[in-house]
């Protein structure tokens, strides 16, 4: 099966984010953080956010896992920095729809994360792609639960 030029571009962007992750590391002044893991494949992600006046001023991630999980975390941090909490949550919801093969109104807002839309063809990889985005949702919605470790559930 030959790859189209678009498929090749998607793969190149995903591999670039995996090999050269953006915003990987520790955020010393994080206002919220969470660790989440996917027990079905072993991916683990820690998300740290600096949120001031309702704006995601900075984001970092650490973790280990497959190319999809790590590149998705890199793409997620790029997409949310500078956004309001509500905008970041909307991006997370939109990303979840995209990797399930559903259309969203503002694909451009997801940036490089749109390159992971092909994951919809591989249901077992959807959790890999959404792990960091689920962690983002938890971190922004449950700020009292700072630093909590959790597992991605089977129905998420």
What's the predicted TM-score (pTM) here? 0.85
Q: What are the φ and ψ backbone dihedral angles of 149, each rounded to 5 degrees?
A: -95, 145
Beta-carbon contacts of residue 59 (< 8 Å; ≥ 6 apart): 23, 27, 47, 48, 49, 50, 76, 77, 80, 81
Beta-carbon contacts of residue 55 (< 8 Å; ≥ 6 apart): 82, 83, 84, 85
**N-to-C CA span, the chain:** 32
How confident is the model over 37-80, as pLDDT tens digits? 888 888 999 999 999 999 999 999 999 999 999 999 999 999 99
Domain with 125, as residue range(s), is 5-151
Q: What are the φ and ψ backbone dihedral angles of 44, each rounded to 5 degrees?
A: -135, 135
How confident is the model over 104-128, as pLDDT tens digits? 998 999 998 988 998 888 888 899 9
Residues in the chain: 156
156: in domain: no
How confident is the model over 18-35, as pLDDT tens digits? 888 888 999 989 999 999
Structural domain count of the chain: 1
60: in domain: yes
How confident is the model over 87-106, as pLDDT tens digits? 999 999 999 999 999 999 98
98: in domain: yes
CATH of the domain at 120: 3.90.1010.10
142: in domain: yes
């Amino acid at each position: 099966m030959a790859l189209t030029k678009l498929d090749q571009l998607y793969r190149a962007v995903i591999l670039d984010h995996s090999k050269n992750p953006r915003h990987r590391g520790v955020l010393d002044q994080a206002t919220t953080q969470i660790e989440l893991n996917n027990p079905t494949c072993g991916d683990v992600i820690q998300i740290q956010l600096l949120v001031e006046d309702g704006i995601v001023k900075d984001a970092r991630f650490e973790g280990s896992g497959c190319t999809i999980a790590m590149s998705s975390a890199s793409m997620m941090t790029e997409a949310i920095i500078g956004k309001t909490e509500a905008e970041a949550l909307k991006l997370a919801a939109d990303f979840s729809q995209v990797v399930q093969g559903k259309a969203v109104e503002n694909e451009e807002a997801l940036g490089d994360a749109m390159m992971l839309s092909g994951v919809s063809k591989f249901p077992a990889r959807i959790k890999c792609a959404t792990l960091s985005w689920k962690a983002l949702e938890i971190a922004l919605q449950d700020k009292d639960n700072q630093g909590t470790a959790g597992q991605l559930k089977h129905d998420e």
